[in-house]
Amino acid sequence: MTAQAATSLGVELGVLAADVDDSAAGATRGIVVGSTESREELEAFAAGRDVVTFDHELVPREHLLALEDAGHVLRPGADALRHGQDKGHQRRRLDELGLPVPAHRLAHGVEDVEAVAAEHGWPVVLKATRGGYDGRGVWVISDAGAGRAVLERAGAEGVELLAEEHVDLVRELAVLVARRPGGEAVTYPAIETVQRAGVLRELVVPARTGVGLAAEARELALQIAEEIDAVGILAVELFETGAGLLVNELALRPHNSGHFSIEGAVCSQFENHVRAVLDLPLGETAPTAPVAVTVNILGAGAEPARGLGDALAVPGAHVHLYGKAHRPGRKLGHVTVLGREVEEARGRAHRAAAALSGATIGAAA
Amino acid sequence: MTAQAATSLGVELGVLAADVDDSAAGATRGIVVGSTESREELEAFAAGRDVVTFDHELVPREHLLALEDAGHVLRPGADALRHGQDKGHQRRRLDELGLPVPAHRLAHGVEDVEAVAAEHGWPVVLKATRGGYDGRGVWVISDAGAGRAVLERAGAEGVELLAEEHVDLVRELAVLVARRPGGEAVTYPAIETVQRAGVLRELVVPARTGVGLAAEARELALQIAEEIDAVGILAVELFETGAGLLVNELALRPHNSGHFSIEGAVCSQFENHVRAVLDLPLGETAPTAPVAVTVNILGAGAEPARGLGDALAVPGAHVHLYGKAHRPGRKLGHVTVLGREVEEARGRAHRAAAALSGATIGAAA
């Protein structure tokens, strides 16, 4: 989707991808096959390009620093990216800034898990500080024994863990910021994210929260972007609790929660990411409709193409398939619907997504 | 732009292009280099594909018929496409159907030009029946001598000409129809097209014409689509005169006049072309804003990329560059702006397009 935005702006985009079947490969011919684990392949990819940006957090920090030392322009830079790569670093930084985060400590041993439980009760959440996303690397622990088991496994794999209070949520929110190198920044309307089993299932925009809280979320996201010197898209994932907002996660890249923006905002997160990292004027983030709903397509049964006709028969269904091979539970695409009324739009979006997931609804087993 | 729509729907699109620098090449990896003049290359390209469609009229009719004879599925089919390939055939067909067209006759000699002038006055318009577009292949003739000169040149090149009355225009309109093989069809709102020197410069949607006339234009376009069995996008170009509508031209493919629809309609002409030729349910053609204005970017001075910052600073400017090398007068892309008020939207769209054309405005010579 970033490739499509770049193409429209006449920007030549190269993609360093693990293989030619990467979903970006369908949308651009600028694919370079290589590994972000290899400093040589990163160097070769960066050579001669004006700017290097990222769509995941998995490039090793030492490689990022080496690229910057060699004079390559990374946007965001290595120090900003670290807030999306290392949850421990991110929590420490937000603590220093006095920003609200869940109560947490590094879990060196089960005594750290028990300390969190003593103060906040069970369950306790254990999170890998690196490499986790979409529910991977997160464990909800209901007693010390379970905590010990996770700690042992993580220790054996050299994974550092955070122990955090289990937050009692009203809902989850996300705010996207687009920010240029000089500091100019814009935010999108607050997004309500609906997760199931740690996987993002649905977006409702604007979030069904109070106007004051939505404004506060946007201010908080802008402040974080400024403090960590984010460039491009910064996604700030938030917990809304009865006592206010907590920052849950930062991602310094176009984000799942911004998929609504292709149709639901004047300028999409993908285009604004391209604009921002090239230090071009940012596009308008205003909504194009009273409500936008995005539902992710998770593989369930058949190939999504078999449901395409049924999905496209749903009025106003904007279908985005990522060209990935079908596998149960895999995120294969998303559907966005714009409307005037939330439940009506949700109904249409879920109908189209169900058709594409290959689910058979109401059929006898 | 069709390639981007296909990618989003998870549809694998191959493109038979004259060279790898074709602008579609930036948006898809499915490029096959070859010539539509070669029956062998067409056959090889069509082999194993479910459907073959078109984005220009230049595939020789005998090759189209051969592909159909060989069992390939062409959408639109060869007989429908002929109405976009051969103006003489198209005029005859519209005459037979009793549909309004400019007064015309085949120009075998200067006496045919004089006959049109005798009935309708000078100037007379001479048009090549094949191969002309964007003002190429059209001559406005003010006397018999000029007509003789054009006829001689055309005769030497084996080009057949039509002589037509010069129509006194109120404005030019276009209507896009998307139609499935079974006959299901939808139209987009009437589009006002502003030409200069025979080249499309600007679109205003909805057209600034009467509501009744706009509805009549849409009915007329639907009727033509049905009669000629168009599949995919049919663009019907119309003259609005003091006495009503005349059909000027048919194009059986996504059309310049539909560029507004990427942002200005719920479902773009490109996506509806893909849907229609695959016999999938058609998308909504309703407008996304009270007014959409599209201005083409014609090369004037510098490379468009040099004006990108200025263009993107225009609020709500949607920039589409086609990745073509710069050349004065060449169509390099377009800008679409949505708004509530026509002149305000026109102002923004022209400002952004001027920046991208490389024009220096108000500078001392």
pLDDT score at A26: 62
pLDDT score at A337: 98
Interacting residues of B236 by C-beta distance below 8 A, sequence separation 6+:
B174, B175, B176, B177, B217, B220, B221, B224, B225, B247, B249, B250
* Measured CA angle at B6 (ends B18, A338), to 5 deg: 145
Average pLDDT over residues B25-32: 74
Interacting residues of A46 by C-beta distance below 8 A, sequence separation 6+:
A52, A67, A70, A72
pLDDT score at A134: 57
Closest to A83 in 3D by CA, of A72, A70, A94, A99: A94
**B-chain residues near A7 (CB < 8 A):** 4, 26-27, 323
Interacting residues of B159 by C-beta distance below 8 A, sequence separation 6+:
B128, B129, B130, B131, B137
**A-chain residues near B319 (CB < 8 A):** 8-10
Best mutation target among B7, B180, B272 (most A Cβ atoms within 10 Å) is B7
Alpha-carbon distance A320 to nearest alpha carbon in chain B (angstroms) = 5
B132 pLDDT exceeds 70? no
> Which residue numbers of A have CB closer than 8 Å to B's CBs?
4, 7-10, 12, 25-29, 31, 266, 275, 280-284, 288, 304-305, 308-309, 312-313, 315-316, 318-323, 333, 338
pLDDT score at A365: 33
Report chain B's mean pLDDT, rounded to a whole number. Answer: 93
Neighbours of A66 (CB within 10 A): 15
A:B CB pairs within 8 Å: 87
pLDDT score at A362: 45
How confident is the model over B329-358, as pLDDT tens digits? 889 999 999 999 999 999 999 999 999 987
Alpha-carbon distance B284 to nearest alpha carbon in chain A (angstroms) = 6
pLDDT score at B112: 97
pLDDT score at B324: 83
pLDDT score at B355: 93
Alpha-carbon distance B175 to nearest alpha carbon in chain A (angstroms) = 21
Of A304, A305, A320, the CB nearest to B8: A320
pLDDT score at B362: 45
pLDDT score at B9: 95
In this prediction the pTM is: 0.90
Count CA atoms closer than 13 A to A222's CA, side-chain side: 14
Q: Per-residue confidence of chain A (365 residues) as pLDDT tens digits?
A: 999 999 999 999 999 988 877 666 666 778 899 999 999 999 999 998 999 999 999 999 999 999 999 999 999 999 999 999 999 999 999 999 999 999 999 999 999 999 999 999 999 999 999 876 556 789 999 999 999 999 999 999 889 999 999 999 999 999 999 999 999 999 999 999 998 877 899 999 999 999 999 999 999 999 999 999 999 999 999 999 999 999 999 999 999 999 999 999 999 999 999 999 999 999 999 999 999 999 999 987 778 888 999 999 999 999 999 988 878 888 999 999 999 999 999 999 999 999 998 765 544 33
Identify residue B343 by its one-letter amino acid code.
Answer: E
Nearest CA in chain B to A14: B26
pLDDT score at A328: 81
Neighbours of B289 (CB within 10 A): 17
What percentage of residues in chain B have a pLDDT greater than 70? Answer: 95
Alpha-carbon distance B164 to nearest alpha carbon in chain A (angstroms) = 39
Q: Which residues pair with A278 in a beta bridge?
A: none
Identify the band that residue B193 occupies on the pLDDT scale cut at 50, 70 and 90.
very high
pLDDT score at A363: 40
How confident is the model over B170-181, as pLDDT tens digits? 999 999 999 999
Count CA atoms closer than 13 A to A90's CA, side-chain side: 27
Interacting residues of B199 by C-beta distance below 8 A, sequence separation 6+:
B134, B135, B296, B298, B329, B331
ipTM: 0.85
Cα-to-chain-centroid distance, residue A225: 15
pLDDT score at A42: 96
pLDDT score at A359: 67
Best mutation target among B184, B312, B332, B338 (most A Cβ atoms within 10 Å) is B312
How confident is the model over B39-72, as pLDDT tens digits? 999 999 999 899 999 999 999 999 999 999 999 9
